């Protein structure tokens, strides 16, 4: 049975790193796995969109459609998107059905430290507008199935927490 595991959190919080690690283990165990990542999707499926609230919501709406199709075809979808708005995440959960939300919680200071692209620095200098965590809000999940604290946990610990939660919820054996 498929499921969408939705990783949400600030830019550079560790969403992609943890999901890639979990994907590798799941594939090694014989599961059908697809990764949907914000950076990758914006190069193709949603390359026409910017970062206004309207465009962000449309971005997640399109990704939700793809994740729903994959999930109902017995694929484990590991989706990594900032997805800063609680209402849009709620709609995504309802549309997909088999869904597990993972809040990748990390201090903004640690996110800035990890930012190899210099996005936070540019946003603070006013070079990037509507940047989540700087001049655009991030609404923390109200009731995620799992919270990772990537500024305190190792990659292995966070990955294992994801796999354990998936097993506990009956998505994997």
Catalytically active residues, by annotation? 83
Range scoring the smallest mean pLDDT among 9-23, 115-129, 159-173: 115-129
pLDDT score of 130 more than 90: no
Contact 79, 2 (CB under 8 A): no
pLDDT score of 1 more than 90: no
- Helix (H) or strand (E) holding 37, with range, is strand 33-37
| Separation between Cα atoms, residue 9 and residue 6, nearest integer Å | 10
What residue spans define the domains of the chain? 3-168
Q: Domain 3-168 sits in which CATH superfamily? A: P-loop containing nucleotide triphosphate hydrolases (3.40.50.300)
pTM for the model? 0.96
């Amino acid at each position: 049975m498929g499921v969408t595991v939705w990783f949400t959190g600030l830019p550079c919080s560790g969403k992609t790193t943890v999901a890639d690690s979990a994907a590798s283990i799941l594939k090694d165990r014989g599961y059908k796995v697809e990764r949907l990542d914000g950076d990758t999707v914006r190069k193709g499926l949603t390359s026409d969109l910017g970062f206004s609230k309207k465009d962000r919501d449309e971005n997640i709406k399109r990704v939700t459609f793809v994740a729903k199709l994959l999930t109902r075809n017995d694929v484990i979808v590991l989706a990594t998107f900032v997805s800063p708005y609680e209402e849009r995440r709620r709609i995504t959960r309802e549309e997909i059905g088999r869904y597990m939300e993972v809040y990748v919680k990390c201090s903004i200071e640690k996110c800035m430290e990890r930012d190899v692209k210099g996005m936070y620095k540019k946003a603070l200098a006013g070079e990037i507008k509507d940047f989540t965590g700087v001049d655009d809000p991030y609404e923390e999940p109200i009731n995620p199935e799992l919270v990772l604290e990537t500024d305190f946990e190792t990659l292995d610990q966070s990955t294992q927490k994801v796999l354990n939660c998936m097993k506990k919820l009956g998505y994997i054996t």
